[in-house]
Structure 1
């Protein structure tokens, strides 16, 4: 059994987070479009709304070399010891000038912890019916290469560990980030047990034609797509995908870079549109008794943390998630109204 699988208390929620998820490059992270404190802000909004306390959260174990080698090549992991290589993946050129020991501590260690969080969330989803890693979703990283702010292949690792250590045989990835998820697609090329549905803006990074061959249900969108078109296509295609394929678990890559005015997604989905999107995915999974694990993935505006927090609270208000383990009472808090 992998050391990334830990047991949690009955009063804990399958909500995985550690404050060490957050990235700090001595202030250099401000040069990147990504909000490097997004994950902390999500949790703070949930706490401020009296939705959770720190006791509800599950702290993951950092994925170390042994766990990463389940997917990654030794050559790739060794390449991360060069700051220039990491700077290209993180898309912060100034990182190339920093000592690698600092880069390991400030950036790669938080990413390894988030990767461990994704793997753990897969296990917890099987046990509780749902799980959310408040982080992860590094869908541009494959076993052999990283990119697009994604240094580790956490989605591939999540699924590989489930297949190796649990009864999971078939998995579905539903990727609703604005960008094509080319990393895990390369890892699962020619693997029929993993069904990939990807809905993304076809005009932006990465435009990986080779990886697209792994997608079983491909929904390519254009710039400035709005709520109505988006939701109609999502509903139609996810229902059809689940009619075609019966997964033991659904991995939901819930990027918020589809938000209007996001500088990299170039789509026009509203705050409410994102909340309704997440609601639909959890709703259909619950109706079909499919465990679902959600990863927060991309989303580059400062306001996305509030939207993700509101979405999680909405899922609970609609009865789609519950903090309590079946038969355990008293660990759900009263929440304040959603900020929508």
Structure 2
């Protein structure tokens, strides 16, 4: 018998497809300010979008915390008690229903040879890779991935640790490059009439909140997200995708 859960909820059509909870923002007597990761960036993103009059509290979907019983549906208790790196790759190892494409600095990630086997399309980058090469490789490889595998949903891990100056990412992508990357991904996926779930993931600079907010504003202005956003294909866009110059 399924266990009782509070995870599922009815979402009115008036709500935006943005899931947020104030509990995402980690505080500990101010010590979080000493950490390189901006533990309050999600709240800052929401505040910036409110300042831009894009949304209000009543338009958000508030996340509900998964209980241990919820997590044990898909994990063992031993798994929950251990810190796992590259967890999604290990979780879906050998599962043909799941296709993982990953774009990363090959010198620092994934660092787990076993987990790396689960990545079906590996897009390996060098230190200091810049916008043009990065965006061309994202576009070309995403197109190929969607030709190889027809998903029911795309989970898009939109990290900002690719940003220039991020010492943990080691790449050199500009703020405009981050915004353009998100636009490329949404155009390609929505152009195939596929649902997409975007998570903001890593990013270790204080300016990432502004960049994420700018990206969301850009996606909205292009009709790629919103309460009733229609699917927009690259072919129907006035903004051309990048030329396929980099293999």
What's the TM-score, normalizing by structure 2?
0.88
1:54 aligns with 2:51: no
Q: 2:104–2:125: 8 Å Cα contact kept in structure 1?
A: yes
Superposition misfits of 4+ residues, deviation over 6 angstroms: none
Q: CA deviation at 1:70?
A: 2.2
1:204 aligns with 2:142: no
Q: Give me the whole-angstrom Cα distance separating, in 2, the residues matched to 1:75 and 1:198.
A: 27
Aligned partner of 1:69 in structure 2 is 72
Q: CA 1:3–1:247 in 2, change beyond 3 Å: closer, same or farther?
A: same
How many residue pairs align between the two structures?
A: 227
Q: Deviations over 1:186-222 (max 9, x none)?
A: 1111101000000101111441110111111001111
1:145 aligns with 2:83: yes
CA RMSD of aligned residues (A): 1.5
Aligned partner of 2:235 in structure 1 is none
From the two aligned structures, give the one with the greater helix fraction: 1
Q: Give me the whole-angstrom Cα distance separating, in 2, the residues matched to 1:210 and 1:295.
A: 24
Q: Give me the whole-angstrom Cα distance separating, in 2, the residues matched to 1:68 and 1:25.
A: 26
Q: Give me the whole-angstrom Cα distance separating, in 1, the residues matched to 2:129 and 2:147.
A: 26
Q: CA deviation at 1:71?
A: 2.9
Aligned partner of 2:244 in structure 1 is none
Relative to structure 2, which stretch is displaced further, 20-29 or 273-282?
A: 20-29
Alignment of 1:110-189 (within 5 A): 145-147=83-85, 182-189=86-93
Q: 1:231–1:277: 8 Å Cα contact kept in structure 2?
A: yes
Aligned partner of 1:215 in structure 2 is 119
Q: Deviations over 1:108-158 (max 9, x none)?
A: xxxxxxxxxxxxxxxxxxxxxxxxxxxxxxxxxxxx5335xxxxxxxxxxx
Gaps (5+ residues) in structure 1?
80-143, 148-181, 327-340
- Equivalent in 223, 226, 243 of residue 322 of structure 1: 226
Aligned partner of 2:161 in structure 1 is 257
Q: Deviations over 1:59-88 (max 9, x none)?
A: 0111110111123321243x4xxxxxxxxx
Aligned partner of 2:203 in structure 1 is 299
Alignment of 1:27-106 (within 5 A): 27-77=30-80, 79=81
DSSP 3-state at the match of 1:198: strand
Q: Give me the whole-angstrom Cα distance separating, in 1, the residues matched to 2:10 and 2:200.
A: 22
Q: 1:279–1:315: 8 Å Cα contact kept in structure 2?
A: yes
Q: 2:110–2:116: 8 Å Cα contact kept in structure 1?
A: no
Aligned partner of 1:236 in structure 2 is 140
Q: CA deviation at 1:286?
A: 1.1
Q: CA deviation at 1:16?
A: 0.5
